[in-house]
Amino acid sequence: MSRQLLVPVDGSPLSKQALEYAFEHHSDAAIVALHIVDPSEPGYSSATPVDVRNEPPHGSEAWYERAAEEEEQVFDEVRELAAEHDADLTTESKTGDPAREIIDYAEEHDIDGIVMGGHGRTGPSRLLLGSVTELVVARSPVTVTVVRNAAEQ
């Protein structure tokens, strides 16, 4: 049975780098790209800055529709990346607190390892890990590989 790796994806450059790392360094693994819609985040957007004045009301049906559209865009990008690496990829979606959903998914699906970016789409590049990454590293039941931007090292 091949190893199963979980790669959380949010459309950020570092989540794409983490996925590329997984393809390049674990070509024999079954890779799952997990996207999480965080309903506590008012200005949901995958990879682009948000002008909250143009956002649908937080928690509304339109807000969730927008999140679903942006999620599909993220999945299109990761599928394209998988095709470039001639790799098999499964996409999964969850709604909730990102760190909790990543850890729960790893526990419930016999994931052997997690590969993720040092920080996600919110906030500027920083020397410390992003809050979601910090929580996953601290609480994960499996090994977590953190991919950082070379410019940050």
Q: Is the pLDDT of residue 94 over 60?
A: yes
Decide if pLDDT at 82 tops 60. Answer: yes
Please tell me the predicted confidence (pLDDT) of residue 54. 65
Which spans in the chain are helix H? 13-25, 61-84, 98-108, 131-139
Q: What is the pTM of this model?
A: 0.84
The token duo for 114 is 């997690």
Residue 6 has pLDDT above 90, yes or no: yes
Instruction: Please state, in angstroms and rounded to a whole number, the distance separating the CA atoms of residues 117 and 144.
Output: 10
Q: Give pLDDT, residue 148.
A: 83
**Least confident among 23-32, 91-100, 125-134:** 125-134
Does 3.40.50.620 match the CATH number of domain 4-152? yes
Per-residue pLDDT, 53: 52
User: For residue range 118-148, what is the model confidence (pLDDT) as tens digits?
Assistant: 865 544 444 445 788 999 999 999 999 999 8
CB atoms within 10 A of CB 32: 21
**pLDDT digit string (tens) for 29-81?**
999 999 999 888 765 544 444 555 567 777 788 888 888 999 999 999 999 99
Contacts for 141 with CB less than 8 Å, ≥ 6 apart: 103, 106, 107
